[in-house]
Structure 1
């Protein structure tokens, strides 16, 4: 347990490399199937704790980009982006639960985000897997926006994103979370293609 430039070259640490790597396994069949979709792009952990909160699944994806000048050995414009994904099952979800996670993200940003000229973005994504989706939660998540600029954007930014998924009812809501497609197992290949397409767009 643990607490688009045509001249751009992209080095992605977890950019869908087709390497068979061992990953954690979950007793929860739904979460385990989601992990199948995430495993080649995220470093995954189970039973993860952060800031006093526990999560069934944690995933981290790091991306480094740079531009190339004339020769591959001559590069500039290095930038780093990261995404921290937290997911857990809950019996019920309330707006106050989501607000608590937003506060957690801002607390984590104090120590997890390293502002610099090379830092482009850090995303904190929270996905709650619930049994139902109350109207007030749907409204809160669909209208949620939270982006913090660092040194007026010169040191990049960090963003908090939310999603609630109800697998048994095949419904979900998110604040613009691309990775939520990985949680829509009922969408079949179409949902998975949407998730992979987002990643290809990043790289």
Structure 2
């Protein structure tokens, strides 16, 4: 349509501004970490919570440009040391921003927990929690595109059966046959001391937990997938 423009807004601003919690362009990773992973005391954003665990602090710094983060988050009787939320609102408008059409809304909720040696039972329970949260929290209206619930386990060791379970995990639900978008539950397990992790296929945020590697700007992640879809 002649004169049509597109906007993609996050929680607190447009792409490129990169405030905490906002959507950012796929090739914008924001400020990540100082050399070697140590964060200077005077370089910590005032609005970003601190954790007692240095690994969680490093993950938080990677997530902060894109996610609103909280400490000690409780939901459905479970408590998580870290919780993050990403919100993306995409709009197309004609001539003026007040005249909009084709709005799409995407969210991701990231829950981080610490389990020394997780079992398949632990993972199954987290998947079931994701299903309950999807049923309770998702407003599947005509603007809804997707809502992801991602559970990341920080562990001391990952058994082979656990790694296999995570890698093979797939849990996507189409809402009204896909007319109202979909929900998806993702799993990540990471052993920081061993510098290893495993994730289900759609858990794009895994990069943030691999703090021993630089974030790859060529990996589009959730935001990139959303922009690719709405641009078609």
TM-score, length-scaled by structure 1: 0.88
The size of the alignment, in residue pairs, is: 195
- Quote how far apart the aligned CAs of 1:73 are: 3.9
- Quote how far apart the aligned CAs of 1:199 are: 5.9
- Quote how far apart the aligned CAs of 1:89 are: 1.4
- Quote how far apart the aligned CAs of 1:70 are: 4.3
- Quote how far apart the aligned CAs of 1:159 are: 0.3
Unaligned runs of 5+ in 2: 21-44, 228-232
TM-score, length-scaled by structure 2: 0.78
Pairing 1:185–2:186 present: no
Pairing 1:82–2:92 present: no
Q: Looking at secondary structure, tell me which structure has more strand per residue.
A: 1
| Superposed counterparts of 1:116-135, under 5 Å | 116-135=141-160
Pairing 1:150–2:175 present: yes
Unaligned runs of 5+ in 1: 1-5
Pairing 1:172–2:197 present: yes
Residues 68/61 of structure 1: CA separation in 2 closer, same or farther (3 Å cut): same
What CA RMSD, in Å, does the superposition of the two structures yield over aligned residues?
Answer: 2.0
Which residue of structure 2 aligns with residue 47 of structure 1? 72
Q: Looking at secondary structure, tell me which structure has more helix per residue.
A: 1
Which residue of structure 1 aligns with residue 11 of structure 2? 13
Which residue of structure 1 aligns with residue 42 of structure 2? none
CA contact (8 A) 2:152 2:188 kept: yes
Secondary structure in 2 aligned to 1:41? coil
Q: CA–CA distance in 2 between the matches of 1:194 and 1:181? A: 12
